């Protein structure tokens, strides 16, 4: 995200062109940066977003290529054995699997690569041997909503609480709130999975408040009934709470540090000199600026968040893509593993893009139309 | 209407650190209505502390340890600035005394438009105005300082340094204050733009009649534009006189040193021969 | 990863005492680094002052805890009362007692010994992975920051790709391809995937350093690139490199224990994660055998805290605003001043207040 440095090197001194001495020139007519900006300026930062989109496409290509090479770097026997153990595969599916898993060594590398891409663009990720030969895309499609629901919800809540909390702690320097920082930071150094296990041990086994695992009760099938939704919420509380508590510390610390830096800025002092009420200075001037690097770091940490959720799903037996990946790994269902990796990567890139869009709208400096 | 706008008596400010620093010592000063007073001196002499201190804009560990500051409002009230509480101070600020800060580069909130930053002054201090009245007032301000109403929706990074400084001046003018404190308003700009800004300030002063406290280390500049000049050193005023007399007949040795330290266009270094 | 090192570090040259308005200090165009003079002091003393970051309280506390664990790792054989694999069928699932301070496992192994021996794997992998990752980060980051043009851009793109691709799934897939990887291989994989964050931070800082006067002077003097980077730039980057290293150790340890717990890394190795794996598999959580599952987790947390403390210490050194902010505010509170007040306090006294005096 190096493209996103806010422009701080604007001109230090005025250019001569701006004001010929003695005359009352309308500054708009002189050749300043602002001139071109005001004429037909679009408020959507196409340039910035376009650059980001190009980057993500490139990363996607890189991820797919890595995925292509990974099985081909492995010892081929494992995969061949695996395939030979499962005879019930249809010929087309077997072909697809061979291509995905790097077994079609009879073709040239380039040809393998092209075929691989052809498969992907068709949406064919092979069949899952672990799940009764169902298409990988279908298997993933079932699990993905659960993960997105859990991660999405927990992350947004954690980010919100952490950022708002960090803003307040930074604003009130030296107050007792400062103690929150080491506490929440300590909580984030505890490994996710251990926190989850402890939570289960305490709240499920001992106190019996929450069920031990899974997303909904045994024997229920997904539907949009209040009862089912109630079960989902009940089952999801513990995993979500664990993620939120574990990741809160990072957001809070980052925001608090940014606030401390921003509070020394000139425009905050100007706001206070203008007689702005304190709340306005805090939220409108200080926090509004401090949150920008937060969003950048949010985008970057999406990869880590996903990692944490994978583990969480295993601890709580939550039926998301993380658990899918782990089960596939243990069963050596290579096609499913690769498929999940690709889907996860794609989601992370999309989330990054969304975060970039949010950033672009929040920081007007990205809309500079001048190079 | 009282001719004096601001009465400062025995004003002292201390920075309560280890060891404590006395930044302003027993300064007594009367600022007249409509006058431009220059505050000159080297860095660290206390001129900024004094100017910020009389508006109580200094942050801890600065403490006002002595003296009184009385603001003689145009309405006839005498306001004891040191006695105001936080809320009264907030209302007093910008309405009676406003400031133009040094280095407008970073003085504007980078994520808000120029227009909204000018408007929020009205929102807070003139709650009676409707939205369109506020907008009109802001547009008027932008025209006065010749930034142009089209800039209403611009962001600070889209403006050049001189324009930003003019926006700051517009902002300071918004509530038609009776005193404007200007802290090195032109130091970061090049000379041509300096000239324009100074002319603008003079013109505005003639039109609106506010007093100005002009802080700078640039003594020749003050000699040109001020009515009176106060030379400060080590927290005290060593000389206070009209600009003319400071130039022609400086009394204090320090003043003489200051005057002679500015390079001359012609001739040798040292005191100019008159 | 919790430490966000911003580019504002360069502002410390204009640091001014709290409450003093900007014009009280001279603003010059040049921003000399806070502790260096314009002539070039010896490399040694530069390095010495670069390590000043470790001298504050937080860093020292963190380093002590870390040192403790390192010692345990080195002297594991001597410290552990039993061999970790010593099976004792008569003492299964025992809670802590005099003979077994942390109780026993499902087949009578001593938990304490297992935890002690587990330290070795954690420390070795953590540091090794961090060393590998930091070396790569330095090379890629500093080069891409110093060079210009397509070389810099392509290195930066490479860094960003590794940054965005989700690490854990990738590591899971790569690790699953090995049958029984030795610790070094595990460390290598972690290091090869985790260098990106440090590289990015170093790139940003190198880019800003490149434009500083002393670098321009060195180049004008004809100093070879090698020397410019090692002698001029690296000491200035030490704080960032240290912070990045510490952060990577934390991440590597967390990754290792997580992967071990999941079972992706085979359970023949000893580390705290595998202990938790066995504990989980034997139902220790459901059976409240807290002596088995609490200590490994607490050890992970303890090391995490130690590393965070070190990072805090470095952070405060790099950005002085963070350091004094809280302490200054509290010190001023004792004198009756609130640093968050927007209005100057009026406290009429005859003389400047004595800092030792308690204000009423």
What is the Cα–Cα distance from C271 to C116, expressed in whole angstroms? 9
* Within-domain flag for A39: no
* Within-domain flag for A20: no
Number of domains into which chain A is organized: 2
User: Are residues A230 and A89 part of one domain?
Assistant: no
* Within-domain flag for A54: yes
ipTM score: 0.84
Option in B55, B92, B189 nearest A14 (CB):
B189
B190 min Cα distance to partner chain C (Å): 14
Percent of chain A with pLDDT over 70: 79
Please identify among residues 72-101 of chain B the ones whose CB lies closer than 8 Å to any CB of chain A: 90-95, 98-99, 101
pLDDT at C6: 36
pLDDT at B75: 86
Q: Is the Cβ–Cβ distance between C189 and C171 less than 8 Å?
A: yes
Which residues of chain B neighbour A274 with C-beta distances below 8 Å?
93-94, 98, 120-121, 124, 171
User: Are residues A145 and A112 part of one domain?
Assistant: no
What is the Cα–Cα distance from B105 to C22, expressed in whole angstroms? 13
- Segment C174-179 shows an average pLDDT of 75
pLDDT at A79: 59
Among candidate residues A134, A157, A176, the one where a domain is terminated: A134
Indicate yes or no: CB of A261 within 8 angstroms of CB of C319.
Answer: yes
| Pick from A101, C342, A121: nearest CA to B55 | C342
User: Are residues A149 and A118 part of one domain?
Assistant: no
Option in A34, A266, A285 nearest B154 (CB):
A34
Query: How would residue A312 be classed by pLDDT, with cut points 50, 70 and 90?
Result: confident
Name, in order, each residue with C-beta under 8 angstroms of B98's C-beta and a sequence gap of 6 or more: A273, A274, B171, B172, B173, B174, B175, B177, B179, B180, B181
User: Are residues A197 and A67 part of one domain?
Assistant: no
User: H or E segment at A318?
Assistant: none
Mean pLDDT of chain C: 74
CB contact A314 to C (< 8 Å)? yes
Give the least confident one: A84-88, C14-18, C138-142, C329-333: C14-18
Which residues of chain C neighbour A1 with C-beta distances below 8 Å?
160
* Within-domain flag for A91: yes
Name, in order, each residue with C-beta under 8 angstroms of B38's C-beta and a sequence gap of 6 or more: B214, B215, B216, B222, B225, B226, B228, B229, B230, B243
User: Are residues A181 and A150 part of one domain?
Assistant: yes
Instruction: Give the tens place of pLDDT for each residue, B192-215.
Output: 888 888 888 888 888 888 999 999
User: Are residues A193 and A175 part of one domain?
Assistant: yes
- What number of residues does chain B have? 274
pLDDT over 60 (residue C360): no
What is the Cα–Cα distance from A211 to A209, expressed in whole angstroms? 7
- b/e map of A347-357 (b: 16 or more CB within 10 Å)? bbbebbbebbb
Radius of gyration of chain B (CA): 19
A21, with CB counted inside 10 A (0-12, 13-18, 19+), is exposed
Query: How would residue C17 be classed by pLDDT, with cut points 50, 70 and 90?
Result: very low
Q: Is the Cβ–Cβ distance between C265 and C184 less than 8 Å?
A: no
pLDDT over 50 (residue A18): no
What is the Cα–Cα distance from C166 to A191, expressed in whole angstroms? 18
A270 min Cα distance to partner chain B (Å): 6
Identify the domain containing residue A113 by its residue range.
Answer: 47-134
Indicate yes or no: CB of A194 within 8 angstroms of CB of C297.
Answer: yes
Instruction: Give the tens place of pLDDT for each residue, A204-213.
Output: 777 777 777 6
User: Are residues A182 and A71 part of one domain?
Assistant: no
Enumerate long-range contacts of B49-52, CB under 8 Å, 24 or more apart.
B49/B13, B49/B23, B49/B24, B49/B235, B49/C20, B49/C21, B49/C24, B50/B11, B50/B13, B50/B24, B50/B232, B51/B181, B51/B183, B51/B213, B51/B215, B52/B181, B52/C21
B4 min Cα distance to partner chain A (Å): 24
Instruction: Give the tens place of pLDDT for each residue, B139-177.
Output: 999 998 888 889 899 999 888 888 888 899 999 999 999
User: Are residues A117 and A157 part of one domain?
Assistant: no
User: Are residues A325 and A243 part of one domain?
Assistant: yes
Among candidate residues A134, A159, A185, the one where a domain is terminated: A134
Which residues of chain B neighbour C20 with C-beta distances below 8 Å?
15, 49, 62
Which of B75 and C98 is assigned the larger pLDDT? Answer: B75
Among candidate residues A100, A134, A168, the one where a domain is terminated: A134
pLDDT over 60 (residue C9): no
* Within-domain flag for A257: yes
User: Are residues A243 and A269 part of one domain?
Assistant: yes
Give the N- to C-terminal CA distance of chain A in Å, as an integer. 17
In the 8-state DSSP scheme, what is residue A202? I
Chain A contact partners (≥3 CB pairs within 8 A): B, C
* Within-domain flag for A293: yes
* Top mean-pLDDT range of A242-256, B165-179, C305-319: B165-179
Radius of gyration of chain C (CA): 25
User: Are residues A150 and A119 part of one domain?
Assistant: no
A12 min Cα distance to partner chain B (Å): 7
pLDDT at B271: 54
* Within-domain flag for A270: yes
Which residues of chain A neighbour C197 with C-beta distances below 8 Å?
300
Structural domains for chain C:
74-306 (1.10.3720.10)
For A20, the closest chain B residue by CA position comes to B192
Query: How would residue C358 be classed by pLDDT, with cut points 50, 70 and 90?
Result: very low
Indicate yes or no: CB of C262 within 8 angstroms of CB of A272.
Answer: no
Domain holding A299: CATH number? Answer: 1.10.3720.10
User: Are residues A209 and A249 part of one domain?
Assistant: yes
* Within-domain flag for A2: no
pLDDT at B268: 64
Which residues of chain B neighbour A15 with C-beta distances below 8 Å?
160
Please identify among residues 69-98 of chain A the ones whose CB lies closer than 8 Å to any CB of chain B: none
Query: How would residue C28 be classed by pLDDT, with cut points 50, 70 and 90?
Result: very low
């Amino acid at each position: 995200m190096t493209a996103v440095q806010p422009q701080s090197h604007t001109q230090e001194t005025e250019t001569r062109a701006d004001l010929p001495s003695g005359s009352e020139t309308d500054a708009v007519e002189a050749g300043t940066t602002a001139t071109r900006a005001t004429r037909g300026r679009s408020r959507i930062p196409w340039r910035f977003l376009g650059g980001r989109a190009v980057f993500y496409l490139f990363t996607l290509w890189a991820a797919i290529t890595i995925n292509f090479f990974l099985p081909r770097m492995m010892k081929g026997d494992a995969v061949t054995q695996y395939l030979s153990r499962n005879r019930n595969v249809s010929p087309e599916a077997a072909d697809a699997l061979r291509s995905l898993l790097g077994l079609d060594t009879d073709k040239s590398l380039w040809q393998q690569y092209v075929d691989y891409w052809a498969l992907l663009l068709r949406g064919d990720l092979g069949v899952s041997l672990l799940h009764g030969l169902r298409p990988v895309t279908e298997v993933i499609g079932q699990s993905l909503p659960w993960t997105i629901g859990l991660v999405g919800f927990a992350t947004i809540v954690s980010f919100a609480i952490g950022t708002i909390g960090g803003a307040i702690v930074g604003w009130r320097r030296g107050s007792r709130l400062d103690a929150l920082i080491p506490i929440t930071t300590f909580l984030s150094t505890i490994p996710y999975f251990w926190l989850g296990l402890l939570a289960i041990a305490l709240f499920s086994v001992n106190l019996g408040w929450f069920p031990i695992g899974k997303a909904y009760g045994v024997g229920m099938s997904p539907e949009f009934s209040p009862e089912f939704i109630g079960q989902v919420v009940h089952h999801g509380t513990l995993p979500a709470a664990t993620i939120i508590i574990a990741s809160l510390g990072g957001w809070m610390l980052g925001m608090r540090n940014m606030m401390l830096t921003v509070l020394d800025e000139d425009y905050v002092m100007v706001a206070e000199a203008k007689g702005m009420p304190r709340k306005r200075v805090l939220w409108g001037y200080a926090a509004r600026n401090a949150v920008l690097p937060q969003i950048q770091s949010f985008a970057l940490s999406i990869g880590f968040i996903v990692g944490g959720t994978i583990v969480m799903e295993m601890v709580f037996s939550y039926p998301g893509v993380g658990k899918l990946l782990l089960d596939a790994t243990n069963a050596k269902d290579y096609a499913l593993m690769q498929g999940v990796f690709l889907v996860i990567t794609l989601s992370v890139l999309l989330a990054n893009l969304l975060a970039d869009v949010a950033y672009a709208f929040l920081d007007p400096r990205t809309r500079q139309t001048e190079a | 209407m009282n001719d004096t706008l601001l009465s400062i008596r025995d004003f002292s400010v201390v920075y309560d650190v280890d060891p404590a620093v006395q930044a302003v010592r027993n300064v007594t000063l009367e600022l007249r209505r409509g006058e431009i007073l220059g505050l000159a001196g080297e860095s660290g002499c206390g001129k900024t502390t004094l100017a910020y201190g009389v508006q109580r804009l200094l942050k801890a560990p600065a403490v006002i340890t002595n003296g009184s500051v009385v603001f003689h409002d145009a309405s006839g009230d005498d306001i004891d600035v040191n006695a105001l509480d936080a809320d009264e101070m907030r209302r007093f600020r910008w309405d009676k005394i406003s400031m133009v800060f040094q280095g407008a580069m970073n003085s504007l909130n980078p994520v808000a438009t120029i227009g909204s930053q000018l408007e929020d002054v009205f929102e807070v201090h003139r709650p009676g105005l409707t939205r369109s009245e506020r907008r009109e007032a802001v547009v008027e301000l932008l025209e006065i300082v010749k930034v142009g109403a089209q800039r209403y929706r611009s962001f600070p990074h889209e403006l050049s340094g001189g324009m930003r400084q003019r926006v700051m001046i517009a902002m300071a003018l918004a509530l038609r204050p009776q005193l404007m404190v200007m802290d090195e308003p032109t130091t970061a700009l090049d000379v041509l733009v300096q000239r324009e800004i100074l002319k603008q300030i003079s013109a505005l002063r003639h039109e609106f009649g506010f007093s100005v406290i002009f802080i700078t280390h640039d003594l020749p500049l003050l000699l040109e534009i001020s009515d009176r000049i106060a030379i400060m050193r080590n927290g005290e005023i060593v000389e206070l006189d009209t600009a003319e007399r400071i130039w022609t007949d400086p009394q204090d040795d320090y003043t003489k040193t200051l005057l002679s330290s500015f390079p001359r266009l012609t001739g040798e270094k040292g005191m100019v021969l008159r | 990863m919790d430490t966000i090192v911003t580019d504002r570090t360069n502002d410390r040259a204009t640091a001014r005492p709290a409450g003093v308005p900007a014009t009280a200090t001279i603003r010059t165009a040049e921003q000399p680094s806070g502790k260096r003079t314009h002539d070039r002091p010896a490399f040694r003393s530069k390095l010495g002052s670069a390590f000043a970051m470790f001298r504050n309280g937080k860093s020292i506390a963190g380093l002590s805890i870390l040192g403790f664990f390192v010692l345990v790792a080195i002297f594991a054989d001597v410290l552990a009362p039993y061999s970790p694999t010593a099976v004792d069928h008569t003492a299964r699932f025992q809670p802590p007692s005099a003979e077994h301070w942390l109780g026993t496992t499902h087949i009578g192994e001593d938990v304490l010994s297992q935890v002690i021996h587990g330290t070795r794997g954690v420390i070795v992998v953590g540091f090794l992975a961090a060393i590998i990752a930091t070396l790569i980060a330095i090379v890629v980051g500093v080069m891409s920051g110093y060079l210009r043009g397509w070389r810099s851009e392509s290195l930066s793109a490479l860094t960003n790709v590794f940054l965005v691709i989700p690490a854990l799934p990738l590591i899971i897939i790569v690790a699953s391809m090995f049958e029984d990887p030795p610790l070094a291989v595990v460390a290598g994989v972690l290091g090869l995937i985790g260098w990106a964050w440090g590289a990015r931070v170093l790139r940003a800082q190198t880019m800003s350093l490149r434009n500083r006067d002393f670098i321009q002077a060195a180049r004008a003097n004809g100093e070879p690139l090698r020397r410019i980077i090692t002698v001029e730039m690296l000491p200035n980057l030490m704080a960032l490199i240290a912070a990045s290293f510490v952060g990577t150790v934390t991440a590597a340890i967390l990754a290792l224990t997580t992967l071990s717990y999941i079972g992706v890394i085979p359970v023949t190795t000893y580390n705290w994660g595998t202990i938790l794996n066995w504990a989980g598999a034997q139902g220790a959580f459901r059976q409240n055998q807290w002596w088995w599952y609490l200590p490994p987790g607490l050890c992970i947390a303890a090391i995490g805290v130690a590393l965070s403390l070190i990072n805090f210490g470095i952070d405060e050194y790099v950005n002085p605003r963070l350091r004094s902010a809280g302490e200054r505010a509290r010190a001023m509170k004792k004198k009756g001043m609130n640093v968050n007040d927007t209005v100057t306090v009026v406290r009429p006294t005859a003389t400047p207040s004595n800092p030792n005096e308690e204000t009423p």
